[in-house]
Every structure is written in C-alpha cells, then in structure tokens.
Amino acid sequence: MQHPIFHYKTEFQSHEPEFDYLRSLEIEEKINKVKWCATPNGSLFILSTNDKTIKLWKVKDHKPKKVKELNSNPFVHSENVLLAESSFVSGQDKPSVANGYALEWTEKIDNMSSSQDRHAKRANIGETVSARCRKVYAHAHDYNINSISNNSDGETFVSADDLRINLWNLEISDQCFNIIDMKPSNMEDLTEVITAAEFHPIHCNLLAYSSSRGFIRLVDLRQSAICDHQARILQHGESSGLKSFFTEIVSSISDIKFASDGRHLLSRDYMNLKLWDIRMETSPVAIFKIHEHLRPKLCDLYNNDAIFDKFECCLSGYGLHFATGSYSNLLRIFSYGVGSEEGITMEASRNPNRKSHLQAAPRARRSSLSNLTRGFSRQANENWSSGSNELSCNLSSKLLHLAWHPTTNFIACAAGNSLYMYYA
C-alpha cells in the first residue's frame, strides 16, 4: 500500500498579540491547541486557541477569478460607457424593437464588440485555500487555556484552564456553561490543577480530565449542571515507600487521549506513558518507561524547570500502538502486548534511524538504558548514578507535540521549527 503524500496547502494568522487592560496582562499570539471539527457535509472547520481566546475557522478551497480590463465602447463618450451599455442590454431584453434602424444599430454594436466580449470573460488564476474566522469565543477563562476537545455530537466542545472547564456550543460564542470548577474559596487551600480534558469519542455525555496529582476523573454530564461528583477516578496506587519531594511533580499528567474504541485511555506524565481501561480504576493495564534514566537527575531537572515540560501522547487509529516524545528529539513508539515494554526509539530528523549520542554512550550506559526500557530499573539506576553528573540528553531539543493519522500508520512530529512525518 502506498504511503500518504502531503503537499503544502496554505497558512494563516490565527491569533495576534493582545493586551488585557483590565488585568494589565499581555496575551501572546502563541497557539496552545488546534483541533479539527467533524462536520457532516465534509466542510473543514478548525478550533484554535491561545491562552485566552478560542477561534473557529472555516477552511475551504476556491478558484479566484480575475476580470480583465474592458475596452471602452468607441461610439460612446467615456463617462457614458456604463449608461450606454446598460441601455443596450435593456434594449435587448425587449421582445421587439421600435423600427428597423434600432434593430440594425443593436446588431451592429453586437458584431463590433463580440471579439471584445470574448476577452472580457473572467479567467481563473489558479486554486487557493482560504481561512475565514466564523466565531470567536472569548472572556470566559481567568487562567490560561491548556486544552480544548470536540464532542462526538458535533455541536459542542469544552475548553479547560487550570481550575475550570467550560462547555460551549459551536454556534453560540457569547455564552458558555461552567461544568467543572476546582477553584477553592481560599486559594491557599489549592492542592491540584486541571492539566487536560478530553471528550469520550462515542458517548457525548462522558468527559475525562486529568490533574497535577496524577488523577484522571471521568464524569457524566447528565448527572448535574456542575459535575462536582466524578463518576470514576483512575489512579495508580503506587507504593508509598517510594515517594519523595519530586513524586507529585513527576506524577502530574500532561496529556490524555481516548482510544477510538472508547474503552481505553492513554495518559502521559513526566516519566511514564500509561494505558488505562476505564473500567479498572486502581491501576493501568500497561506502563511504558520513557526516560527512566533521568530519575537520579530530578534535582537538576527541577532547578532548570525541565521537570515541568509537558509531553503529549497519541494512539494509532486501532489503538494498538502508542507514541510520545522525549528529550534529544527522541520519538518513543510502543505496542500493547507481551514483551512490548521496550518499544522503538527514533530521532526526529531526516535520518530517524541514525545512532544518537545515547546509543553511542559507553557500554555500561548502553546496557543500563536497555534494561531501563524493559522496566528493570534498580540496577540501571545504580550504574547511571555512578557515572558522570552531567545529563545524558539535550534538554533544549524536546519532542513535545505529535499526532497519529486516524486511519493509517503515519505519525507527524514537531521538533523545534520542523515537522517530520514517518510512515510504516
């Protein structure tokens, strides 16, 4: 089967820098999330958001036409051209003419200008793609928006910030409904924030959202207007003996994605990629180690704020393969099944299979890295901590954003200012 081929279509400016004069806050034009909207008629609609404002765009192909310059009628003065041409047209609309001279004059003008009319027709100047802003959803979030998600009903979507989740109708831009509110009466009592929100792909009444404490809550929108009581909590009951100062930080979930079957859910925290069965609340069905070799260096990662990086995750169309990013622009791909904890590691570059500096490390590090990907981390951590104090990866090159094609094994990865696409 031939792999998909993509060509450049268009680009447009979604957001521009703004300033909130009420809060004396500058709003960057940086786009946080982009989502396609499913429409029954095949039209292309895109939801895009920055920190405060969400916009709905309609993208369509059209063929612009250009009208070439008309030659002036030689029998009429320039300022009377439009009037004369309109009179001729109106005269032709009449069922009959007053006399033969009028008929002869009309036919004469038609014959003399027929060659000019042929050149006056509109001419195509090529196909192009245009984007038009249809709706602007603003002034609904006090905190920065971190995620948006379309509902399977095709009519609504949610937007989430650190403390609230709002429900919108695509056709109504000046009103939304607050369905999740985690803001305490006293901000000193704040213990967690919302990190991501995702609608169920089949049941439009189910919504999942994650928190900085490593919880995934599944709520039913039919229960109440404000979903204070979650229907289900997915939480990994790890041993309390392993907790440290960094335990809660690295357990913060940065992204969640539903599988197409609606039964499984994929989550990404700083160290792990976890696959959940939403019917099993106590533990995930699979855990994939991403960069366990960095665990002894968490203090250094905390000091340079790298520990707060938010990596995304994605699933294949059939939900059997999963992918996420790491440092040094590394792409990690896993499959669900026995013996699949190691996965595949590629570098997001023109030559993804080339040896990275991790693979070129000394033998002790290479063997420990191999063990780490299999989940046997005790001996590996000892070997790693006994080595150099320097970090073994490039923290400035990180693969944060990626997406999997919904129907084929095709992955798009954003590394820096480049987009790499891989097909299997």
Please give the full DSSP string across 358-375, using - where no structure is assigned. Answer: TTTS-HHHHHHHHHHHTT
pLDDT value at residue 359: 40
Residue 67 near residue 60 (C-beta atoms within 8 A): no
pLDDT value at residue 237: 74
DSSP type of residue 13 = -
pLDDT value at residue 110: 54
Residue 254 near residue 196 (C-beta atoms within 8 A): yes
Q: Where are the alpha helices (DSSP H) in 24-134?
A: 81-93, 100-119
Half-sphere exposure for 142 (CA within 13 Å, toward CB): 6
pLDDT value at residue 82: 52
* Residue range 26-63+134-356+398-423, CATH number: 2.130.10.10
**Residue whose tokens read 């991501």:** 196
Describe the crossing of helices 378-385 and 363-373 by its angle, rounded to 10 degrees.
150
pLDDT value at residue 79: 52
pLDDT value at residue 380: 32
Sorted by sequence, the CB contacts under 8 Å of residue 357 that are 6+ apart come out as 328, 392, 393, 394
Question: The pTM is what?
Answer: 0.76
Sorted by sequence, the CB contacts under 8 Å of residue 153 that are 6+ apart come out as 204
Rounded Cα distance, 202 and 278, in Å: 14
pLDDT value at residue 121: 58
Q: How far is CA 41 from CA 44, 296, 374, in A?
A: 9, 53, 47
- Blockwise average pLDDT, block size 10, the chain, 424 residues: 74 88 84 90 90 94 66 52 49 46 51 50 68 94 95 96 97 95 92 96 96 94 83 76 80 96 95 94 92 92 95 91 94 80 85 53 32 30 40 86 90 90 84
Domain ranges, ordered by start, for the chain: 26-63+134-356+398-423
Torsion of CA 402, 301, 358, 269, to 10 degrees: -40
